Amino acid sequence: MGKYSFRILFILLITNLLCVNIKAQEPLRLTLDQALEIALSESNTIKIADMTVTKSGYAKKGSYAALYPNINVNGSYQRTLLKQVMVMDMGGQPMEIKVGRDNSISASASAALPLVNAPLWESLKLSAMDVELAVEQARSSKVSLIAQVKQAFYGVLLAKESLEVMTQVYDNAQQNYEKILQRYNVGKASEVEKLRAQVNVMNAEPNVSSMENAVLLANWQLKAVMGLDLATEVEALGDLDDYTNQLLTPYVSEDDLSSNSSLLQLDIQDRMLESNLRMQKKQYLPTLSASINYNYSAMGDDELRWFPSSTAALTMSVPVFDGFQKHYNIQQSKINRDMLAMQREDAERNIRIAIRNYNDKIALCVKNYTAANATVEIAQKSYEISQKMYEVGKTTLVELNDAQLALQQAQLNQAQAIYDFMVAKASLNELVGKEE
């Protein structure tokens, strides 16, 4: 009885392990929103951007340290190995006197604080702008990642749709071959028709294999941009027809540049150059700082005697002449601002052109989809009629194949039009800086 119980427990254990393994191999089924959520939490691009913002925040806090007192504590011990000898004339006779003590100990504490320092205060504003620039760069990375994930997701849907079309073509070719083979066996079809039908099946099979590989590559691309392990099984849910309602989305205006990350970063850089220019001009102003020092020292051979001392000071530094270095630095900063203004002007012009190009591409995709949608309906009817006419012997196999090829091309064109529209829209949203 114990032996059978052990076998039953062993079988149950193996069954549970197999069930766990099967569950572990189940693909991760994702909608587009879920794919975006995973990418924004797992992608190294977002993690690096967040770390850059954190690093800039620490740099900003570090720059404020200059406003606090700079306190230092020092201590030293000195042992005299060979004392200095002084020779003095005493009544016409030279006398040698050793100077110094065997031991010398000192401890001191000092503190310094800037009271008036205009360039320092302006540099603190620059540190704050560094953080602002890092935040905008992080947002740019997020917008770019969203566009990449969307395009990769649409690529998977296009590959799946193309695979379905190729599989349907293969199934139709297989069914036609079986029907022709039956007619050939009873002498109602020629050998040429049978061979043509067989060739159609053989031609359709590699297309199915090719599209299966395309689906695999598209899934790898999606996993890569999401930051997932390539060994993870992923299945993109939905199909391209789910996005046909977005074909009516209004186009983006060429003046909608308020969220464009490139222009926003250039604007922040311009403000940083302006602040840097003010900081350089303020270097002509005097600075004032305060300091205090306390020292406790002792000297002696066998017995040490301690003596305290302390000082406090106000130090004013007035720049008088530096070989025109400040003047030249200011001129360089002015030229840098002028150059940046020209770069922004060119960038804005190119962005407006890109928006117009994407709008034109979106309009073309809508026209292509409308035409392809109508063509699919006609091609589907044509194929069904050709199939029935072939069954009653009123048309040839060549005409049936032409009808099937036309239907296949129309279905692929329809899917391609939706894909091109969604990719163009994702790129346009990235260009104008929309986080959607």
What pLDDT tens digit does each residue of the chain (436 aa) get? 444 454 444 445 555 544 444 444 588 899 999 999 999 998 888 889 899 999 989 988 888 888 899 999 999 999 888 888 787 877 777 887 777 788 899 999 999 999 999 998 898 888 899 999 999 999 999 999 999 999 999 999 999 999 998 998 888 888 888 888 888 888 877 888 888 888 888 988 898 999 999 999 999 999 999 988 888 898 999 899 888 888 877 677 777 888 899 999 999 999 999 999 999 999 999 999 999 999 999 888 878 888 899 999 999 999 998 899 999 999 999 999 999 999 999 999 999 999 999 999 999 999 999 999 899 889 889 888 888 887 777 777 778 778 888 888 888 999 999 999 999 999 999 999 988 7
* CATH class held by domain 14-69+120-285+323-432: mainly alpha
Distance from C-alpha of 393 to C-alpha of 77, rounded to nearest angstrom: 115
Cα angle, residue 122 at apex, residues 116 and 124 outer, rounded to 5°? 100
Of 52, 109, 100, 54, the closest CA to residue 79 belongs to 100
pLDDT of residue 2: 47
Contact 60, 131 (CB under 8 A): yes
Distance from C-alpha of 65 to C-alpha of 72, rounded to nearest angstrom: 14
Q: What is the DSSP letter of 249?
A: P
Q: Write down the pTM of the prediction.
A: 0.81
Distance from C-alpha of 230 to C-alpha of 219, rounded to nearest angstrom: 9
Instruction: Please tell me the number of Cα atoms within 13 Å of 394 on its side-chain side.
Output: 6
What Cα–Cα distance (Å) separates residue 165 from each residue in 149, 306, 407, 410? Answer: 24, 97, 9, 10
Contact 390, 397 (CB under 8 A): yes
What Cα–Cα distance (Å) separates residue 374 from each residue in 360, 369, 378, 410? Answer: 22, 9, 6, 9
Q: Give me the count of residues in the chain.
A: 436
Q: What is the DSSP letter of 357?
A: H
Query: Phi-psi region for residue 332, left (φ > 0), alpha (ψ -120 to 50) or beta?
Result: alpha
Q: What is the DSSP letter of 303?
A: S
State how far Cα 63 lies from the chain centre. 28
Three-state DSSP at 236 gives: strand
pLDDT of residue 331: 95
pLDDT of residue 13: 52
Helix H or strand E encompassing 94: strand 93-99
Give the list of residues 6+ apart from residue 296 with CB closer than 8 angstroms, or none.
106, 107, 108, 306, 307, 308, 309
Distance from C-alpha of 336 to C-alpha of 392, rounded to nearest angstrom: 81
Cα angle, residue 248 at apex, residues 242 and 253 outer, rounded to 5°? 130
**Parallel, antiparallel or unpaired: strands 70-79 and 84-90:** unpaired
pLDDT of residue 12: 52
Contact 274, 330 (CB under 8 A): no
Tell me which residue has tokens 């296009």.
158
